[in-house]
Structure 1
Amino acid sequence: MIGQSLLEGKVLYRDLWDNKPPGIFYLYAVTVKLFGPVMWSVGVIDLVCLFAISFFIFRFTKQYLGTAPAVVAVVFNTTWHVQGGNLYAAQPETFVVLFVFAGYFLVANKDGWAVFRNAGAGLLLAAAFLVKYNALAFLPLITLAPYLDRAKADAEPHRVGIRIPWREWLPRAGILVSSFLAAVVLALVLFWISGSWESLKEIQFEVLPRYAAEVFRAVPLYWVWVLEQTTFTLGSWTEAVAAAALLIAWKQRELGRCAPIFLACALSYVSVTMQVRFHDYYFQTCLPFFAMLWGYVLEKAYGGIRALLRKFAERRWQLARALVWVLVANVIYWPVPAQVAALAVDYVALRDWWRDRNLFYATSPWSRPIDHFGDQLRVIEYVKKHSTAQDGIFVWGTDPLIYFLAERRPPTRFVTNLGLVSPWSPPSWHDELVRDLKSRPPRFIIVARNDQVYFITMTEQDSEQYLRSFPALAEYLSRNYRPVKDFVNLVVYSRREPGPGAP
């Protein structure tokens, strides 16, 4: 919805509230420009990005590990991404990974034009940074990994070095960093020119740190919880594979071969921890690189099995060879039924979506508990039927989808109430909202139920319940609006018509 409003001339942060960095909304604006206000546009963009990221994963892995591990890495990353469903679709992390890979390959290209390639890589890193600030963690991957002298990592003693003289590397890195800084400064200047600097400063430099810090109060054993979230999202098998990959590379003197991948894994995990909160989709910056470690370990496991089979063949242990093949067949078969079943379900879902998109969204088993797509679509239909494009609406809830699909606009910059029901937001925002509603009363106000997002707002109350903690809004609603339609999880209030003789 914010991307759509940007195309209409609204200014981010001043006219449209969100606490995310600015870059992602301009990418969403491009998406809306290409496809219009339709829900499936996110899926198309996500699919295109997934193909591009898969291409980069293959090239990156093949460069260091070979073709077979590269294919395995693509399969694992794609599977993980698809399993994430709409929660992973076109998230900022998707674009961060895409820009980081593009920047890396621009620097790693050996066709000359080093100055322009490094300047371009700096611009790509700036784009990633403006999409998600934690992208800065990948700076060493772009500036150092393409030049690593991998042979030194396996020499005795183990050393770290680069293939070119430091006096040659420093100017290249300087150009990249200068390009990065110039792009970021230019973006800030443009916000200042647009009159949005004060709003940006308040949201990004004052409120956002409080938003991040609030989790320390909510989670007493924070670092224990971090480890739990990491294991829950990556999986204990992936953690074990990462440890096994490091051990194998050290034992077989292949630390140099795997060094860029280990570096990428470490930096990507740092990029997750920098955000303090550990939402599942944050780990999308890690998954491509941990998928590469799966490729490396499975390649080594295959080589070990072949060596074992050769030994058994030399000793004529036919039964042992057969048992090894039985074991391998079971290991290969173990994930197949679940993946085949999941793929079949996905194709059935695609068929249902093609036949009736609204019915699919309303009954989708993959939606989050707070989405209530069925009720949202019914509200959208009601609003479009009983109002015009000039009539404003206001959604007191956590999801701005109704604005987007109904093509109706709110009279305030608070397109969601996430920043209004949270302890990390300034009290002045409550006054600002009520003032906006009074100055431009919307035709309808929609109040959401069962939409609480505790780990963002730090409150167990849903939007309707929170009205008891926001008496000014509750009073304005009861005096000026009346309920006209109850859709279980969303209640539509219509503005009362002034009585005879009213001013």
Structure 2
Amino acid sequence: MIKKTTTINYICILILFVLVALSALFFYPYAMEVPHRDSGIYLYLGQELLEGKTIYSEVWEHKPPFIFYVNALGLLLGGGSGWGVWGIEVLFLFTTVLLSFLTLRHKIKPIASLLLIIATYMASYQYMSGNFTEEYALVLQAAILFIFLSQHFKSHELRNYFIIGTLSGIAFNIKQTYIDVTIAIGLLLIIEMIVDKKWANIKSMASIGVGFLIPNLITVLSMAINHAVREWWDAAFIYNFAYSDIGPFERVNALIDIFQVNSKYPLFIFLFLTWVGASLAFLYQAFPLITHFFHTRKGKIFLFTLTGFFFVLLGIGQFMGTQPGLGIIETVVLSFAVLSLILSLLFAFVLKPKNHQVRKPIRLTPWDTLNDQKIFSIHDPLLIGVFHFPIVLFLATASGRNYPHYFIPLYATAFLLFSGVYLITQNVDWKLSKTRIANIIFIALFIIGMMQPGQRLLRGLGGPYTYHPYRELVQYIVDNSNEDDQVLVWGLETLINYLSHRSSPSRFSYVDSLYYRSPLQAESTAIMLNDILAHPPKFILDMRNPQYPFIDGVSNDECLAMVPADGTDLEKIIHFTCKNYQHIDRVNGVEIYKRID
């Protein structure tokens, strides 16, 4: 029997590997000859790192450094092609699903574990396009949950929390918002400490903190060795803080917009409905604890504070708003304010606490059977998922931009909620039929949910994509320049530098930092001006992006007449281009300017 189970496990793991490999064909280099925008930036920076340049001080991007070194390693392994990067990502994704499968095998049979992991992977895969930072971070999410949900976690608790902190520190150096699983675990530790008086959790959180510091200290040391600490801090933190500096109502609007963005993904809808059901089950079990807390002095202060917060938020919105009256968001905030006020008055003056209120244990799934004496068990996948889902959505919309790939971290949520609900259904005594109704429901949802990501998988099997407009542009650059020549792309399409193997004259290979309002805007523009004056590139490509207005097709004479030579640094760049470059061609809407030698 053990041998049979082991064989089934190996077959399931093989199926998972085949699934990941086939799904990765959607973005493998043969099909996606021209990488998407973000991937093109990372590949170019990796290419420049292999040329000996220093990240942030000589090549600029506002992500933490992990993704650039991964791309550099991949290009090194692939002999300069994207195949090495693709191979690394396949390895990362396979390790992710493997860890998740092994986590479930503690409690769930092989075939069921396999189907749950496939559904989980597809819920995240539907947002993937290859070489996104989110895709590399999934393995860290899976590793953290593998450790936290392990049956042997408590035998070396502080050590395990230290490892979780270390993995979280690595995720932080991929992108700061990828510590969502650790935040959920931290919140549960705080709640457990309050409810069960488990003050040892302070040590656990300290252990996470110490582990978290180690990768970040290594990063600081690496930047110090390369004399790029200030540039790293400005790019990865100051710029990103400005990038995410949106108003409270913009943030609420971004959260509401999530459902419009994700309405075309059935698995997201299933995930949301699962979360709603799990949340209601949690609230039902936790209701006595919640009411007991609100009857205490601290609970009453909390409700009055929450009421004040919502009314202040409403006042700020009215003061800063451009339209009179209450919009949808203001109405929602007002509703929360009134609800909080009503609850505050009820618990302060009307409702009286019960004298003998029994505190029952909160158990959503039978995962953690070793802590039956506790009120609150944090090693519960469904409970973690209840907290994790809103954290992911909040962090994904931190900048107010709901790009689809921002929702790739929902992998952990899908893993937690889908597996949690499955565990519940297996403990229900179905009397209507001998057939497991839950299994039928799961398979039906699985088939429906697989349709949309399945289309992407089938598309990857179809070979190279159709004609891309930048192929002709890249070929033009290659045919009319040498590898030592430099090309400035006025836009976001750094992929042109990567594909043509032509360096940018400035650390700012794309011009976002010159136009986006941040504390670095003036300095970035000044650096770009100095770089162009010191090393005029052979070609300047005006991508005609309305977000980054440049020459926009006007003649050199008109440009020189409109743009002063002694104006702002940006105007000086435009004036210098019109004076020293000649418009020679237009390829697929891109204006090509060549230096007048």
Residues 73-114 of structure 1 show CA distances to partners (whole Å, capped at 9, x for unaligned) of 31222223332241xx23222232312332444564749777
Query: 1:257 maps to which residue?
Result: 366
2:502 maps to 1:408: yes
Superposed displacement of residue 448, structure 1: 0.8
The root-mean-square deviation of aligned C-alpha atoms, in Å, is 4.0
- Give the aligned residue type for 2:132: Q
2:516 maps to 1:422: yes
Residues 312-338 of structure 1 show CA distances to partners (whole Å, capped at 9, x for unaligned) of xxxxxxxxx9xx99x998996687488
Query: 1:389 maps to which residue?
Result: 483
Unaligned runs of 5+ in 2: 1-43, 286-360, 368-379, 554-558, 564-569
Partner Cα distance (1:148, 1:260) in 2: 17
- Among residues 59, 73, 76, which one is paired with 1:30 in the alignment? 73
Superposed displacement of residue 67, structure 1: 5.0
Distance 1:197 1:295, change over 3 A: closer
- Give the aligned residue type for 2:461: L
2:74–2:82: 8 Å Cα contact kept in structure 1? no
2:311 maps to 1:200: no
1:269–1:286: 8 Å Cα contact kept in structure 2? no
- Among residues 130, 136, 139, which one is paired with 1:98 in the alignment? 139
Partner Cα distance (2:528, 2:540) in 1: 13
- Give the aligned residue type for 1:266: F
Superposed displacement of residue 115, structure 1: 7.2
Query: For this pair of structures, how many residues does the alignment match?
Result: 443
* TM-score for both structures, normalised by structure 1: 0.74
Which fold has the larger relative contact order, with Cα–Cα distance below 8 Å and residues 6 or more apart in sequence?
A: 2
Superposed displacement of residue 413, structure 1: 0.3
Query: 2:251 maps to which residue?
Result: 222
2:244 maps to 1:240: no
Larger CA deviation: 55-64 vs 470-479: 55-64
2:92–2:136: 8 Å Cα contact kept in structure 1? yes
Larger CA deviation: 129-138 vs 60-69: 60-69
Query: 1:370 maps to which residue?
Result: none
2:223–2:229: 8 Å Cα contact kept in structure 1? yes
2:458 maps to 1:347: yes
Distance 1:98 1:266, change over 3 A: same
Residues 278-325 of structure 1 show CA distances to partners (whole Å, capped at 9, x for unaligned) of 432222222332244234446656887953225xxxxxxxxxx9xx99
Distance 1:279 1:148, change over 3 A: same
Distance 1:120 1:204, change over 3 A: same
Superposed displacement of residue 52, structure 1: 1.6
Distance 1:37 1:141, change over 3 A: same
2:172 maps to 1:129: yes
Query: 1:375 maps to which residue?
Result: 469
Partner Cα distance (1:407, 1:56) in 2: 38
Residues 150-196 of structure 1 show CA distances to partners (whole Å, capped at 9, x for unaligned) of xx99xxxx95587xxx65x6656544432321331231132123111
- Give the aligned residue type for 2:64: P
Superposed displacement of residue 488, structure 1: 1.9
Residues 375-426 of structure 1 show CA distances to partners (whole Å, capped at 9, x for unaligned) of 2221221222221111111111102111112111111000111112222352
Superposed displacement of residue 10, structure 1: 1.2
Distance 1:489 1:410, change over 3 A: same
Unaligned runs of 5+ in 1: 311-320, 354-359, 364-373, 453-458, 498-503
**Matches for 1:403-482 after TM superposition, within 5 Å:** 403-424=497-518, 425-449=520-544, 451=545, 459=547, 465=552, 470-482=570-582
Partner Cα distance (2:445, 2:95) in 1: 29
1:69–1:296: 8 Å Cα contact kept in structure 2? no
Partner Cα distance (1:351, 1:206) in 2: 43
1:13–1:196: 8 Å Cα contact kept in structure 2? yes
Query: 1:279 maps to which residue?
Result: 403
**Matches for 1:266-345 after TM superposition, within 5 Å:** 266-267=387-388, 269-274=390-395, 275-277=398-400, 278-297=402-421, 306-309=430-433, 336=447, 339=450, 343=454
Q: Secondary structure at the match of 2:593?
A: strand
- Among residues 108, 113, 133, which one is paired with 1:70 in the alignment? 113
Residues 231-283 of structure 1 show CA distances to partners (whole Å, capped at 9, x for unaligned) of 64374432221122344576797425363443245235425424343432222
Query: 2:338 maps to which residue?
Result: none
Percent identity between matched residues is 17
2:189 maps to 1:189: no
